[in-house]
Structures are given as C-alpha cells and as structure tokens.
Structure 1
C-alpha cells in the first residue's frame, strides 16, 4: 500500500515544496485544528465555557480534514465538566445568599428597627 503525497515542485534551494492540497493523513504534516485544540484544552481549565467552544471548533476543523484531535476531545470533556461545576456553584451561592437574607429578615422582624447586639453579632435592621 503506497501513501499519496501532494506533488513536489522544484524550489531554488533544492527543498521540495508541496502544493496547498488538503490534509490527507500524511505523517509529519500539520493537523488542522491541533493548535486550536491545545488552546481550548488549556482554557478548559481556566475559563471552561470558552475552552469548550474553542475545542469544539478545533474538533470540527480536524474532523473535516479526517484527522483525530485528542486535545480538542479532552478540552470538550473537561470544559463541559468545568462549566457544569461553575453553573452549580452559582446556583448554590444564589440559594445560600437567599437563605441568609431570609434569616436576617426574620431576625429583624423579631427585633424591630435599629441596631441590636446578640452575643457577638450586631444586627442593623432598617
């Protein structure tokens, strides 16, 4: 089985030049989307939603060229997990803040308006 490479053209320095033929899985050739996949993978740890988007774009570029892109796949998986964790954390923080506000309002309803000290806690109620 012989591999097919784009035809080489002569170059003044003697090094072969290849035409802009599409990626055909040739070894040592650039993999479309690979650099973007690495960037998406790194961003999946730092800014998960952005990492997911870049990794998906890289995966699409690689698949169109018929190449595999492990960094893009890992970036998608890690980015999705990170995004789910971020969203769950935001929901939990909002729920806890709401519970804290409710507890504060209950204390102020019992104490009335003004500044009150109970133990080591000072409440300033409207």
Structure 2
C-alpha cells in the first residue's frame, strides 16, 4: 500500500502519517527439541516383556534369564534345621543332655536338607550349612557341660560313692 507524498512538516502544516501498525502477537516460548526422543525414522523398540523361564529339569539358577529376580523356593528342612539348632544352644548351655539331643536332630536335618537341595535345585543351602554347624557345636557344648558336671560331682568330697559300702 502506498500513501500520497505528504508535505514537509511545518509550523502549521499537516502531520506526516505514521507507518502501518502490525497487529500484536505475543512472544512464543522457546521449546527445544527433546534430545532423548528417537528420530522419526528410527524403529521403536518392542515393549518390555517378562523373560521366558525354561527349566529343563536340571534346576539351574541360570535357566531363569539374565537379570531375573526369580529365586527357587527355600527348602523347608533347611529352615527347620537352623531353627532347631539355634534352640539347642541354650538347652546345651543349661547343663541338660536334652540340648545335645536337639543339636543332633538339627544337624541331621541340615544334612538331609543339603542332599535335597542338591537334588531339587531349591535354595537354602546356606541355612542348611548353618544348621549343621550350629547343631554339632551345640552337641559338643552339651557334651562338655555334662562332662564338667559329672567330674564336679565325682570329685566332690561330700558325695558318697556307690563303691563305699
């Protein structure tokens, strides 16, 4: 659009016409491109799925797939072995032979649990080993405590020997 020429401004002359005014447009916010977004020409990866578990009867912990958090169930006898062996320790320290018998039961349960863990591939071998160790230690403690008690009774001058009659 063109305007007619205007006369030069003077003391009483006309005022020059202003430039055409553009309509107001609010400033646009700058949004950078997402650097982590895949390019439109790249193929999208498939959605995550649970890894397939192929147990071929060997019970291998490696058959569950990389990064899998699946664990085989714990062997119940291993848990029982550890609990019974831990109960045997105070019984062995009390001076009764009962703690030693409970320790033997805990240790035997631990041995049986380890055999079943090797055969079935279940977890809990650490608990079974702890049950074995604690059970045999409790049995040894009970035997030592009983030997000390018997020796103390036998060496006491107040005690009557069955052979004194």
* TM-score of Structure 1 vs Structure 2, range by shorter chain: 0.5 to 0.7
1:101-122 Cα offsets, whole Å, 9 max, x none, are xx1268xxxxxxxxxxxxxxxx
Work out the CA distance in 1 between the residues paired with 2:105 and 2:82. 10
Q: Which has the higher Rg, Structure 1 or Structure 2?
A: 2
User: Following superposition of structure 1 onto structure 2, how do residues 32-111 of structure 1 map, counting pairs within 5 Å?
Assistant: 34-46=75-87, 47-66=102-121, 69-100=125-156, 103-104=157-158
TM-score (norm 1): 0.58
Q: CA deviation at 1:45?
A: 1.5
Number of aligned residue pairs: give it: 89
> Unpaired segments of 5 or more residues in structure 1?
8-20, 107-125
Work out the CA distance in 2 between the residues paired with 1:53 and 1:70. 15
- Cα RMSD (Å): 2.8
Query: What residue in structure 1 maps to residue 54 of structure 2?
Result: 5
Segments of 4+ moved more than 2 angstroms: 21-31, 64-68
Work out the CA distance in 1 between the residues paired with 2:115 and 2:149. 35
Q: CA deviation at 1:65?
A: 3.1
Structure having the higher strand fraction is 1
Residues 1:85 and 1:3: Cα distance change in structure 2 (over 3 Å): farther
1:58-86 Cα offsets, whole Å, 9 max, x none, are 01111223455110011111111111101
TM-score (norm 2): 0.46
Query: What residue in structure 2 maps to residue 122 of structure 1?
Result: none
